Structure 1
Amino acid sequence: MDEDALKQVERLTMFLFERVDEDPDKAAGTITAVVEEAFGAPPMLSSSTEAVVLTNAGSVLINAGSRTENETDLARGELWMQAVVDSGLLDGTDREAAALYNLANSRLALTDISYSQALRRDSHGERVRAVAEQRITDKDRLRLARVELTRAAQLTSDPRHKGMQLCNLANVLDHSGRWVEAYDAYVRALDADPDNGAAAGNAAVLIERAIGNGWDFDGHLCSLYDHYLARAKANRAVTVSVAGEHAARKYDAMELLGSNKPVFDPPHEDAYRDWVAHHRLALIAALEGTGGHSEDGRWDAIALASVTDTSNSSVAPRVFSILNVLKGDFLVARRLAFEAEQVLDETGGWHLHDSDTGTYTDTLQYEVHGEAVSKLVLAHRAALDVLDKTAVAVNDHLEVGDDPTKVWFRRFWFEDKRCTQLREKLITHDALSTGILSMAELAVDMGPGGMYKHAQDVRNAGTHRFILVHQGLAEVESSLTMQAMTLAGMREACHQSLTVARAAFIYLVALLAVYESRSAPDGAPTVPLFLPDAF
């Protein structure tokens, strides 16, 4: 490209960047004309410098399109950013992260317009359902945006940018009812940038909603709400810079609750409990730690409180047994992962633990063998088995009628194999739509191109093939029979599978609770779940 033309685009971009709000339509038209003259339409790139200039110009166009809700400008910005990413000229750099962030933002702005249009078309008052169905219509664009934000955060070295990317990821998850995963992303955003008032404020809003839905746990959520709201108020200037004045004013108007319960668990003598708290893997309504009501070691207390019983039977409804089994399955997977990591932390995977009774052939490829690594693989597989069973539980309790032996988590929530439409039997009640959407989107993210695709691939390999774990110091090739993974990668995949399974279990309980609250006829008897102390 002509150097003078490139400099002209760069100068214009810098000029318009601070002036987008003055006249976004004019800014979009001007930057489009200059970029297309310099780069062509679609843009052609031949150097990393050109890719950086186009990334910055695309940021101006996407910001302008977002202000005016101009789908043409946003689609063009999406095209520019896709060209940058596909060029590979910025691979593995902070600049690639910036392009991915812009690309995700263009996709999200387009879906926001779709939601607004869907709500305007809604003539039956089913607003929640209308939004859920539109998000599934836009599922591919949303899936890509979640992956791009995740990847951008992995690449970014700048704490402020990493916090913004993770905060945006959390927002996207929360908008689909995936509040457990959203909370984790807000926390990671604050880990990256402790001053990100937007992440703290949005976490407080999420927690406030959980409290309003009856998810409070011994006042813990109230204290957590105060913790994050106070951080948002203390970092108002950062909130304004990353999310705008309107967001800061929203947090200004929110009031502290004055709760004095501990926000985070103090260290325990129980290493397992500390590990669970650190990784946020407890099955409780509290979003941090393991809760303060139980010191007897039984702190995985989340459960369905009651169901409507019209059978007049003396036998407890089957759903209680189903949830008991499902919880036990998850807890075993979690315990296996902990035990494996305890041994691996002691040995580093370089030698067998004294408790291992096996002898293993040294293949001279830095392979990791033994009970510990096999426990890690089994834990990963067992955790993701919980996903299929959550779908079976919904099929049974909502009386969908599918053959339980043919229910799969990745397909159950949809009418068609292409996953383009939410299942009508599951969203007959408007109130259920968000709960079904959270499961359906989670299923999309387990599939090809999803943010949890790696975890699903490892699960499939662990079921039908052999997973070969190694230290990563030598090139180990995968084959049709064997999938090679580094020890660090296997541990990461296991953590991810447990996080996903925990979220799915909590979404399941929330979904069933909403279903029961909406389906009980006036005066119908309910069956509360009471567990004896010795159980």
Structure 2
Amino acid sequence: MQLESFSADADSALVRGDLSGPQWSQLKFSSASLLINLGSDRANRPAVESGIQCARDALLRDLYPEIREQLEYNIANGLSALHEMDLAVWRATSASQPQGLFAIRDRESLRTTRALYASVGYSGTNHDTRGRALCNLANMLDHSGRWLEAYQVFVEALEADPTNGNAAGNAAELLRTRSARGRGLGGHYAAVYDNYRLQAQRHRSRTVEVAGENVARRWDALPPSGSTGHTSHDGDPLDQYQQWIKRHRLALTMAVEGLGSDDPHWDSAMVESVTVGIGEPDPPTIFMSMNVLKAEYLVARRLAYEGERLLAESLYAQHPTDSGTYANTLDLSIYGEPSAQLILAQRATLTCSTR
């Protein structure tokens, strides 16, 4: 392939001194982009693999740090393309096998891909690349059944780049699908869906740039829900704890925005009903278990908030109200009640999640 030959010629030119480090890096980046994009479109595995190698070569030499995040983004796109190609083969040859088995087999590659998208999306400086990376990460999460996490990442993609109509369209489609299943807060999902649908259609030209004309037409075809539901219950604006919960989406609710309710007991998510056999306990023990787990989660959440608040108050030093005396470990570590609260909150949450 001519692109592969071009990449090899660039390597030789760098050795001869005919190219500077930044010039070589940019050529490798361009080669990687073209190989991965063309290879993905044509299901050409060798081309995609060559593109990934081009990007990895440039990343390893690191002669032009300014494009490091774009190179990581290229590698993630290449790995994602290889996964889709392998998945297509799996579907064609293993139709009787659950698709989840393939995801388990490919889990290390998927984990690497998600980590690269997350690195670019959360640590990068280019708003366009960050938005694209987070949108791709969200789609991966949604495809693996982690739709709530996917929704959060779509929102973060739009925070990075509000013009990314593809992220808005994907968020709208995610909510429309969930609402159509008749579970959760249908009116709420529909109202939020309408907002994202309009945002996607308003930024149609950007969707074409990011994802192509066919995707833009898909978002054009999204119908209005006709819902009069609420988009968000925002709680008491003067209650810092409530606003912290809202900002970090830590409410135990079926809502995707806000606290889910204006009721004082807005942590309303629970097991609504179960089917039990004859002779089983009445009521089923799952209700008692959920009550205990919920209470423990709420305590862990408040511990995390208090720890974060006290650390900020003390400017990340020992809080004035902390009565402890701590040895100086000469590594700039912070000791005391606020940091211990954060650690205990994390431990409590992990304990809840493994029960």
TM-score normalised over the length of structure 1: 0.61
Aligned to 1:408: none
2: distance between equivalents of 1:135 and 1:366? Answer: 42
1:341-386 CA-partner distances (Å, limit 9, x unpaired): 22222222234243x3434456676543321111011112222223
Match of 2:228 among 260, 265, 272: 260
CA-based RMSD: 2.4
Code of the residue aligned with 2:58 in structure 1: it is V
1: distance between equivalents of 2:124 and 2:154? Answer: 16
1: distance between equivalents of 2:311 and 2:350? Answer: 22
Code of the residue aligned with 1:326 in structure 2: it is L
Aligned to 2:93: 121
CA contact 1:51–1:90 (8 Å) conserved in 2 = yes
CA contact 1:216–1:222 (8 Å) conserved in 2 = no
How far 1:277 moved relative to its partner? 0.6
2: distance between equivalents of 1:366 and 1:101? Answer: 33
Determine what percentage of the aligned residue pairs are the same residue.
35
CA contact 2:118–2:133 (8 Å) conserved in 1 = yes
Aligned to 1:19: none
Match of 1:379 among 345, 349, 352: 345
Task: Name the SS of the counterpart of 1:284 in structure 2.
Answer: coil
1:12-69 CA-partner distances (Å, limit 9, x unpaired): xxxxxxxxxxxxxxxxx221222234437xx999934322210111101111101100
Question: Using a 3 Å threshold, how does the CA distance of structure 1 residues 38 and 372 change in structure 2: closer, same or farther?
Answer: closer
CA contact 1:343–1:353 (8 Å) conserved in 2 = no
Match runs of 1:502-521 below 5 Å:
none
Aligned to 2:295: 328
Aligned to 2:284: 317
**Does residue 1:290 correspond to 2:259, yes or no?**
yes
Match of 2:158 among 190, 196, 221: 190
1: distance between equivalents of 2:331 and 2:33? Answer: 46
1:179-229 CA-partner distances (Å, limit 9, x unpaired): 111111111110011111100110011111221233332621111111111
2: distance between equivalents of 1:158 and 1:367? Answer: 32
1:69-113 CA-partner distances (Å, limit 9, x unpaired): 01111111122222222223344x3x0011001101010001111
Task: Name the SS of the counterpart of 1:303 in structure 2.
Answer: coil
Aligned to 1:177: 145
Moved more, 319-328 or 338-347: 319-328
2: distance between equivalents of 1:302 and 1:213? Answer: 17
1: distance between equivalents of 2:212 and 2:21? Answer: 34
Question: Using a 3 Å threshold, how does the CA distance of structure 1 residues 57 and 314 change in structure 2: closer, same or farther?
Answer: closer
CA contact 2:7–2:27 (8 Å) conserved in 1 = no
CA contact 1:166–1:188 (8 Å) conserved in 2 = yes
**Does residue 1:159 correspond to 2:127, yes or no?**
yes
2: distance between equivalents of 1:60 and 1:295? Answer: 54
Code of the residue aligned with 1:234 in structure 2: it is R
Code of the residue aligned with 2:50 in structure 1: it is R
Code of the residue aligned with 2:254 in structure 1: it is A
2: distance between equivalents of 1:57 and 1:364? Answer: 47
Code of the residue aligned with 1:175 in structure 2: it is H
CA contact 1:233–1:251 (8 Å) conserved in 2 = yes
CA contact 2:172–2:193 (8 Å) conserved in 1 = yes
Question: Using a 3 Å threshold, how does the CA distance of structure 1 residues 90 and 323 change in structure 2: closer, same or farther?
Answer: farther
Code of the residue aligned with 1:61 in structure 2: it is L
Match of 1:56 among 17, 27, 30: 30
1:286-307 CA-partner distances (Å, limit 9, x unpaired): 1111112x512x2222222222
**Number of matched residues?**
350
Moved more, 345-354 or 235-244: 345-354
1: distance between equivalents of 2:255 and 2:196? Answer: 14
Aligned to 2:316: 349
Consecutive unaligned residues of structure 2, counting only runs of 5 or more, are: none
Task: Name the SS of the counterpart of 1:307 in structure 2.
Answer: coil
Code of the residue aligned with 2:51 in structure 1: it is G
TM-score normalised over the length of structure 2: 0.91
CA contact 1:65–1:74 (8 Å) conserved in 2 = yes
- With CA pairs under 8 Å and 6+ residues apart, which has the higher RCO, 1 or 2? 1
Moved more, 307-316 or 329-338: 307-316
Aligned to 2:49: 75
2: distance between equivalents of 1:189 and 1:221? Answer: 19
2: distance between equivalents of 1:70 and 1:360? Answer: 60
Code of the residue aligned with 1:316 in structure 2: it is P
Code of the residue aligned with 1:373 in structure 2: it is S
1: distance between equivalents of 2:95 and 2:350? Answer: 39
